[in-house]
Structure 1
């Protein structure tokens, strides 16, 4: 498993997308801090960019890279290596490469301009989103044989989580505003890892109004240390479920 992971990492180190991804994040992060005089405002703006771009690029790149390495994956499958080890090596290598790109591109500027709890929350959220959407990307790629269809499903998944989900929760909260629906809203909000990551960042800034449509509900249930830990555990659960389902499908798939 580790040899496969090492080979994939070496291949990713020469990948132009990974290098371009690092440079783009570094340019955006540095530009935010240099243009904006207030580091807190720069972090707020940067967090919105991270919450939108990191899931999209992690999802699409993972899908495309899986298909680019498909012949190599088939070759490994006929060797005395378990399919679980093959797939987990692929996920670990891609996640590690994208995490390294994120830490260089965003982590270094944050540590230089805004070290502290808010910056740490941004880095942890970006790390969690990278792992989650790499897992989702592999799951989609394993299920779908057609590359174009898999990329399309990935883009639809991203649009639903970034744009549509909050709108649906907003409609639900307004439609049933005369009823105590908070116990329903919180589990529904937990289904979206991007919302959870936004909550982790904005609660550290202590600006509930910037949490989005579900901000008040998040602040009530996740404002404490226990609530923050619960949100982090939910993000870990997203990673575990996506990778587990990917392995389950890949074991039975006819390559």
Structure 2
């Protein structure tokens, strides 16, 4: 077998190995070492540019501080990622790495929530711009818009009915499975903790793809496989892929 088929390893924020998360170098490192899928996060700047970052505040992963939604792109780019000469990438800068590859899978997490920084108009701008960037650079069918909030997912479907959406959750419950189905989800992403096999089976029977996270070791990847996961998010994707190869599983 030349590559991992199921569950496909998704590099979480590119990787947390060797490079600062969500920087271009983190994605390039994983790509160069055989990773063919990612799960990552997006915000929008005050001047309307979608950027790649997990936290609202940039303090944890950059040399600056402040909330992305209150900063212009120029202000954001004036800081470096920690332990790096890189700046926070835009969605376009990241997606240009993939150039409509068909052998790829991307989970695009919308970090926005309705509230202080996102009224209805701002949310629509954010969704539309992330969608436009994905369409411009990624192959159709290779990406899913994900979120913890079904209200956001439902809005994605209202604005872009063809878009695939996925619900991120903790442990899978029947109520959350029902919520995912109600939101017309393509996928769900539950944690290992609190997720029972019977509900994974029910999700699969309902036609949902399953991302069990995080599979940080070979043993956890095997558990995800045995439970029927289609993909599994991983903070150390290259190390786990190396272990799979050494075990003859990739």
- Of Structure 1 and Structure 2, the greater helix share is in 1
- Larger of the two Rg values belongs to structure: 1
Fold equivalence (TM over 0.5)? no
Alignment TM-score, normalising by the size of structure 1: 0.28
